[in-house]
Every structure is written in structure tokens, then in C-alpha cells.
């Protein structure tokens, strides 16, 4: 629940501070549409963490989002310290994914730790690759967000 609450607040925070977020996304080469997508994805991802039937998809989507945040910061030349929040959330997402994979099930009452760890590791690597490729694609396929300039500065 704490992780879901964190992502919900992050999404709502972006929604209520669109001007600075739009500026950051523009500097990063992303569009305003992509910013709105991220806001919606974080809020729905938070809800998905609370629903057992949506948890796997939420974990994957939010991991891609956080890898994308780290990749964007590195692409912008920001210090790694600026990514500590995203890295911390990634660690929590992987831990939750591992616990989810190790949960007792009707089919397999005691899942193998080795298989669960390998599965979560493979999913984490896949999320990283999707975030990396998605970052490049979104940056090159969409026009960057524009920041409105006040009339007094024109």
C-alpha cells in the first residue's frame, strides 16, 4: 500500500505542477502528451498495485517508468544523485515483484526461489530494455513539449 500511495502522489504531484514538469520534459526532448501519459500511468499503476489481478502489469509498467526516469536523467547529464528517488522505487518494485513471485499458489504451493528470482531478474532486464528503447523512440518521434513564454518576455 505504501508503494501504491507513493506512486499515486508522484502522479498527482506532476499533474498539479505541470509548468515545471513541462519545462523538464521539454529539456529532455519529450512532448507534453508524453508527460500526460506518465501522469496517468503512475496513477493507474498505483491503483494496479492494489488489485491482485493487475499487480504484475502494474509492477512492469511502473518499473519501465522508473527506469525511464533514470535513463532520462543520465541522458540529460544530471548527476546520479538526482535519480535516487527513482532508484529507490525500482528497488522496492523489484522486492515486491520477488515477494509476489514467491507467494503460495494453488497450483504450486511452494514456488522455487531460484526460478522466481530468475523470472523477476529477466522481467527487470526486459523493463530496462523497454525503457531504453522507449526513451529513444519517444524522444525522436514526438516534438518536444513547449513552455509558454509570458507576454512580458516576448
pLDDT in tens, 81-131: 999 999 999 999 999 998 888 877 777 666 677 778 888 888 889 889 999
Q: What is the value of pTM for the model shown?
A: 0.83
Q: Are 130 and 64 in contact (CB under 8 A)?
A: yes
Average pLDDT value for the chain: 86
**Do 43 and 8 meet the contact criterion of CB atoms below 8 Å apart?**
yes
The x, y and z cell numbers of residue 11, run together, are 502522479
Q: Is the pLDDT of residue 137 over 90?
A: no
Supply 88's cell numbers.
Answer: 529507490
Q: How far is CA 126 from CA 61, 101, 111, 133, 149, in A?
A: 11, 16, 22, 11, 40
22-46: per-residue pLDDT in tens? 999 888 888 888 999 999 999 999 9
Amino acid at each position: 500500500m505504501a508503494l501504491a500511495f507513493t506512486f499515486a502522489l508522484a502522479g498527482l504531484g506532476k499533474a498539479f505542477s505541470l509548468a515545471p514538469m513541462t519545462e523538464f520534459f521539454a529539456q529532455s526532448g519529450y512532448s507534453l502528451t508524453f508527460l500526460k501519459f506518465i501522469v496517468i500511468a503512475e496513477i493507474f499503476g498505483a491503483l494496479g498495485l492494489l488489485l491482485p489481478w493487475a499487480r504484475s502489469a502494474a509492477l512492469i509498467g511502473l518499473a519501465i517508468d522508473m527506469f525511464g526516469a533514470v535513463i532520462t536523467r543520465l541522458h540529460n547529464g544530471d548527476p546520479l544523485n538526482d535519480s535516487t528517488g527513482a532508484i529507490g522505487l525500482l528497488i522496492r518494485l523489484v522486492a515486491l515483484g520477488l515477494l509476489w513471485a514467491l507467494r503460495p499458489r494453488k497450483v504450486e504451493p511452494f514456488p522455487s526461489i531460484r526460478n522466481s528470482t530468475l523470472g523477476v531478474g529477466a522481467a527487470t532486464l526486459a523493463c530496462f530494455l523497454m525503457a531504453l528503447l522507449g526513451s529513444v523512440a519517444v524522444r525522436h518521434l514526438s516534438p518536444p513539449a513547449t513552455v509558454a513564454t509570458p507576454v512580458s518576455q516576448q
